[in-house]
Amino acid sequence: DAGVIQSPRHEVTEMGQEVTLRCKPISGHDYLFWYRQTMMRGLELLIYFNNNVPIDDSGMPEDRFSAKMPNASFSTLKIQPSEPRDSAVYFCASSLRDLARVLYTGELFFGEGSRLTVL
Amino acid sequence: AQKITQTQPGMFVQEKEAVTLDCTYDTSDPSYGLFWYKQPSSGEMIFLIYQGSYDQQNATEGRYSLNFQKARKSANLVISASQLGDSAMYFCAMREGNSGNTPLVFGKGTRLSVIA
């Protein structure tokens, strides 16, 4: 089975440019999360969706960041304009709410991340 | 206040020895879940083990076990018989509530180095 797929894996851009990161969650998963990882701040939640609807975007740093989930199989995280302090690894993760499972844990399945460098 | 505290930025362990990675958490919710993830140098996040707040027994998964001490609010990861491939960052995380899919809050991580 395919896992969470993120693209691009690496992106180098110049300050002021628009950056779009993409995520395809695991088929059938109904939750999608965007996290950002930096050395200083660790893993931070940016936003998460349930059934394509944004539930909590309080972690989005500022208006330059936006995220969409137009359908169950695709999400984007956009930064416009980008700044050097946005340099980080951005992870997408998905999960399935299935409380009927005997050993349900609700673990998050992560993509391989998109490493963004803004010069 | 930090929800998840991992006090060991880095740890070294000899191959084949056991190692304990510390994690303490802070919550007032009686229902919560605790997770450990491994992040090797390649960068992906790999789920290792889960402990629910109402679970009576400590979770185990192969060489991984979770030393859950509820009164002390600690959830330490124990890796037995360390292997060179265990060298990685390890993150403790928590989910509060019992809705099943609220986001995980992560600690800052511990870098484990296994020495031959």
Q: Is A88 a residue whose pLDDT tops 80?
A: yes
State the smallest CA–CA distance between residue B37 and chain A in angstroms: 10
Q: Is B106 on the interface with A (CB under 8 A)?
A: yes
Q: Is B14 a residue whose pLDDT tops 80?
A: yes
pLDDT-derived band at A72, boundaries 50, 70, 90: very high
- The answer to whether the Cβ–Cβ distance between A110 and B50 falls below 8 Å is no
Phi-psi map region of B3: left, alpha, beta (phi>0 left; psi -120 to 50 alpha):
alpha
Q: Is B47 on the interface with A (CB under 8 A)?
A: yes
Average pLDDT over residues A58-83: 95
For B45-85, write each residue's pLDDT tens digit: 999 999 999 988 999 999 999 999 999 999 999 999 999 99
Mean pLDDT of chain A: 92
Residue written as token pair 């928590």: B94
User: Which pair of tokens denotes residue B50?
Assistant: 């889960």
Q: State how far the alpha carbon of B49 is from the alpha carbons of A61, A68, B102, in Å.
A: 30, 31, 18
Share of chain B above pLDDT 70, in %: 97
B23 burial via Cβ count (<10 Å: 0-12, 13-18, 19+): buried
Q: Is A1 a residue whose pLDDT tops 70?
A: no
Report the DSSP beta bridge partners of residue A117.
Answer: A12
Q: Is B16 a residue whose pLDDT tops 60?
A: yes
More confident residue, A58 or B98: A58
Q: Is B100 a residue whose pLDDT tops 70?
A: no
Average pLDDT over residues A24-53: 94
Q: Is A102 a residue whose pLDDT tops 70?
A: no
B contacts of A106 (beta carbons < 8 Å): 33, 95, 100-101
pLDDT, residue B47, reads: 94
Q: Is B100 on the interface with A (CB under 8 A)?
A: yes
Residue written as token pair 């930090």: B2
pLDDT, residue A107, reads: 87
Residue written as token pair 């180098």: A12
Average pLDDT over residues B78-95: 97
Average pLDDT over residues B24-45: 94
Q: Is A74 on the interface with B (CB under 8 A)?
A: no
User: Which pair of tokens denotes residue B17?
Assistant: 């020895």
CA atoms within 13 A on the CB side of B6: 26
Mean pLDDT of chain B: 94
Cα separation, A59 vs B100, in Å, equals 20
